[in-house]
Structure 1
Amino acid sequence: MASVLVVLVLAAASLVKKAKASPTGPPGPDGRQCVQLEVPVTVNTKAIHWLQKKVDSTVDAVDWVDDMTTWTSPNTTSRILGQITVNETFKISGQLCVPAKGSRSDILQLATHGVGFDKRYWDVEIKSSQYSYVDAALAEGYSIFTYDRIGTGSSSKPDAYDVVSTGVQVEVLRQLTTLARSGKLVSSSKKVGGASNLSNYKPAKIVQVGHSLGSVIIIGLLSDDGASSDGAILTGFLYNSQIGSASVGPWGFEFAKENDPKKFGDRRSGYIVQATKSNTQLVFLKKGTFEPALLDYAWQIRQPGSVGEFISLATVLGHPAPAFKGPVQFFIGEKDYGFCGGDCNNTYDVTALKKLYPASSALSVHLQPGTGHGLTLSTNATEGYKVIFDFLHESKL
């Protein structure tokens, strides 16, 4: 009976979300105007070619985890075999939402999700008034663009070893940022649904918002091209003394296509996904700060990651962003298991953080009380959003 109720709740939430999308053009009943897009993004860049094991089965996936975590295994640097050229045009599935009335609608929040999800991470469909970051941003008057990173959701799913890597994801974000700032994000894309009156939307400012790997990707963009962005909210990530404890082990990875052939039948070699709902809880949630229905939801919308993303994650970290002048906020769950080993208290140095962003107009660190890694899925999500918005307002954004 419980499983039937969960299915009914998810189905009802899906119907509510369809109504929110306002497919005929006028604002929906909550004032949101959204357009769903297929954005062609061409990337021409150098990517690292890595030495790593192939993953074509769940047996391989477990062996890959073993190889990545055994203390005598080669370190990241020694696994670099050289460089390859990535010159591809990817289809990026995105959604642009603009508030019907909003004093900050000319400020675009460009949101990049992390591993384990797609853009739905930002727009939770259960109790959306409490959990949806998209709804919260629109209610605060901001416009927001969410998208599926390559390898996830409805976006392109290229080679999982060298192409779906952190560096290439940085280039995708750079191109999306350029398109948005030029006002050509909608006009250069294929409209697949939603409002018809947003073709000329051009933001005056862009704030990058990330979660986990999405925050790491933003860090890479800011260090390469600090002038591209007017502000950055880095959730689910924090430079700290326990960051080295992060491991792929707790994910319990399986080969995605084998884990769920129906859901992940389009994933090729090298795509891996958390094996069980318990793995999802361990990585993303903390007992006492999540509702069971939200764990069910997180499991239902889970997405595979690529082995290339994990091995390349560290390559963009630790580089300063001297040209970035906007405000930056590190926002992480107090009990984040992945990046702080379960407790972020007394693990970070604000002075060291400021050295990475020497020209930043403001820098802050916020530990969200009691929560784990999945901030939009935790019961105090709304309070967390207020912290983010207050920081932006204080920074004149």
Structure 2
Amino acid sequence: MQFNTTPAATPDSQRPRTRHLLTSLAVAVALILAGVALATPAAHAQPPSAARPGCARHDLAVTLTSSPGASRYRLAGWLCRPARTTTTVQLLIPGLTYTHRYWTGPDRRSDYTAAALSAGDAVYLVDRIGTGASDRPPADQVTTTTEATVTHQAVRALRDGTLGRFTRVIGVGHSYGSVIAMAEAATYHDVDALVLTGLLHDIRIDEMTRFTTDLYPAAADPKFTDTAPLDGYLTTRPGSRPGYFLDANTAVRGAAAWDEQTKTTATTGELTFTPDDELAYSRAITVPVLFVMGATDTLFCGTGQPCTTPADICQREHTAFPPGTALAAATIPRTGHSINLHHTAPLAFTAITTWLHHQHSAPATPLVSSCR
């Protein structure tokens, strides 16, 4: 989930807008940190995705920095291979308060992993560090920068034989996972393309501020009372998620209950990245990028901030990347922020897999348009 963002090209007249958001988020974080003191963490295992042919759990030992002697943590991951041999793997990075289960969803229609495998690509699903079945370091150490470092280690493992010897690695993110995908690509330049879903540089400030103030200490949530998250670990308040993440008209049956049941934690460290950080990431990216947005995403789309057509997305994003970067966009109608939890999700899956396999030819779906 992107928290602290402004338009890609921010004129001086918009600077107070950025300061307002930064101030609101600073207050929100202060209120969260002033909450109850939380206990020492216990086990954080979360049930893995349903077993399927070709999938196996493969965790990685990772560090948050490249410093000698840095502490090592477990990154939980699941590697799935298609029926036929492939040299391409998609690294799937979930958003804030989501685990890898976002990519498998509550039903067949919501299962992006199955769509990617059917298209012939392998996938590596992860619980980001600090979430799900992965280890939970101190909250202030789990930041966009350190998560990019962790993601880089996953990319390297997919190439060097630790997890596989894939020659093409695609970073696929949702929401805050898209921020991490950009940070990793900008820092290490080791992925071949990016798919950024549920993310734009220009946010709806009121909605995003409301979302951040709805975060509260995870230890106070009934879902996490038995696991005692560390101080600084947060989650969404019960019942708050549908208003931010779902379009009630097209969400799959039971999506709200499933979303609440499978939610995970976030950290105060993740709330510290700034609009300038995000713009610096995108302006250092040279690989092809596809944006995929739900047209009714309440956090990014609204009056004056349209997501109705791919041209809307291109108009909002093209100045945030170097002129030579190949950009494309897709909009999914009647779809909220968590795209995979809607009946329209297959449209997004088709847009992504088509773009990945036809980057150098005309897309097979009218949902995708080139921005250049």
What TM-score comes out, normalization by structure 1 length? Answer: 0.72
Q: Which residue in 2 is equivalent to 1:316?
A: 277
Root-mean-square deviation (CA, aligned residues, Å) is 2.8
How far does residue 19 in structure 1 lie from its aligned partner after superposition?
4.4
SS at match of 1:247: helix
* % identity of equivalent residues: 26
Partner of 1:391: 355
Whole-angstrom distance in 2 between the partners of 1:336 and 1:175: 31
Q: 1:212: which partner in 2?
A: 175
Residues of 1 paired with 2:360 and 2:228: CA distance?
A: 44
The reply on whether 1:353 has 2:318 as its aligned counterpart is yes
- Are the aligned partners of 1:41 and 1:92 in contact in 2 as well (CA < 8 Å)? yes
Query: Structure 1 residue 44: deviation in Å?
Result: 2.2
Name the counterpart of 1:130.
109
d(CA) in 2 for partners of 1:117 and 1:264?
19
Q: Does 1:35 align with 2:16?
A: no
- Summarize the alignment of residues 221-300 of structure 1 with structure 2, pairs less than 5 Å apart: 221-225=184-188, 227-240=189-202, 242-245=203-206, 247-250=208-211, 252-260=214-222, 262=224, 265-277=227-239, 279-300=240-261
Residue in 1 aligned with 2:21?
none
Which of the residues 377, 384, 387 maps onto 2:341?
A: 377
Deviations 1:303-327 (A, max 9, x none): 1211111122546300155664432
Task: State whether residues 182 and 285 of structure 2, in contact with CA within 8 Å, keep that contact through their aligned partners in structure 1.
Answer: no
Q: Write out aligned runs for 1:55-94 (5 A).
A: 87-94=70-77
Q: Say if 1:109 and 1:144, in contact at 8 Å, map to a contact too.
A: yes
1:151 deviates by 1.1
Q: Quick check: 1:209–1:234 contact (8 Å CA) kept in 2?
A: yes
Q: Which residue pairs with 2:97 in the alignment?
A: 116
Counterpart residue identity of residue 296, structure 2: K
Moved more, 267-276 or 317-326: 317-326
1:112-191 aligned within 5 A: 112-124=93-105, 126-127=106-107, 129-160=108-139, 162-185=140-163
Size of the aligned set, in residue pairs, is 311
In 1, Cα distance between equivalents of 2:292 and 2:316: 16
Alpha-carbon contact 2:314-2:329 (below 8 Å) kept: no
Q: Cα 1:170–1:313, aligned 2, differ >3 Å: closer, same or farther? A: farther
Tell me, yes or no, if the aligned pair for 1:92 and 1:155 is still in contact at 8 Å.
yes
Tell me what 1:333 maps to.
Answer: 294
Which one of 82, 106, 128 corresponds to residue 87 of structure 2? 106
Inter-CA distance 379–351: structure 2 relative to 1 (3 Å threshold): closer
One-letter identity of the residue aligned with 2:181: I
Q: For 1:170, give the aligned amino acid.
A: A
1:263–1:113: structure 2 CA closer, same or farther, 3 Å change rule? Answer: farther
Aligned partner of residue 111 in structure 1, secondary structure: strand
Greater Rg, structure 1 or structure 2?
1
| Contact preservation (8 Å) 1:321, 1:358 | no
Amino acid at match of 1:169: E
* 87-96 or 253-262, which deviates more: 253-262
Following the alignment from structure 2 to structure 1, what is the Cα–Cα distance between the partners of residues 190 and 345?
28
**What is the TM-score of this pair, normalised by structure 2?**
0.76
Cα deviations by residue, 1:36-56 (Å, 9 ceiling, x for unpaired)? 02210123259xxxxxxxxxx
Q: 2:265 aligns with which of 304, 312, 322?
A: 304
CA contact (8 A) 2:110 2:341 kept: yes
Which residue does 1:203 correspond to in 2? Answer: 166
Q: Secondary structure at the match of 1:340?
A: coil
Residues 181/17 of structure 1: CA separation in 2 closer, same or farther (3 Å cut) = closer
Whole-Å separation in 2 of the counterparts to 1:113 and 1:100: 24
Q: Which has the higher strand share?
A: 1
Give how far 1:100 is off: 1.7
- Is residue 363 of structure 1 aligned with residue 344 of structure 2? no
Q: Equivalents in 2 of 1:297, 1:35: separation in Å?
A: 23
SS in 1 for 2:251: coil
Q: CA deviation at 1:123?
A: 1.1
Aligned to 2:32: none
Comparing 249-258 with 380-389, greater Cα deviation is found at 249-258
Deviations 1:126-172 (A, max 9, x none): 32x31111011001110000101111001110111x21111111111
How far the C-alpha of 1:350 sits from its partner, in A, is 3.6
* Aligned-pair CA distance for 1:332: 1.2
Tell me: CA distance 1:172–1:15, structure 2 relative to 1, closer, same or farther (3 Å).
closer
Q: Which runs of 5 or more structure 2 residues have no equivalent in the other structure?
A: 1-45, 362-372
Structure 2 counterpart of 1:190: none
Unaligned runs of 5+ in 1: 1-13, 21-27, 47-84, 186-200
Shift of 1:18: 3.8
Partners of 1:15 and 1:152 lie apart in 2 by 12
Distance change (3 Å), C-alpha of 1:152 and 1:377: same
Q: Deviations over 1:29-87 (max 9, x none)?
A: xxxx01102210123259xxxxxxxxxxxxxxxxxxxxxxxxxxxxxxxxxxxxxx993
Contact 2:159–2:167 (CA under 8 A) maintained in structure 1: yes
The answer to whether the 8 Å contact 2:199/2:300 transfers is yes
Contact 2:282 2:320 in 1 (8 A): no
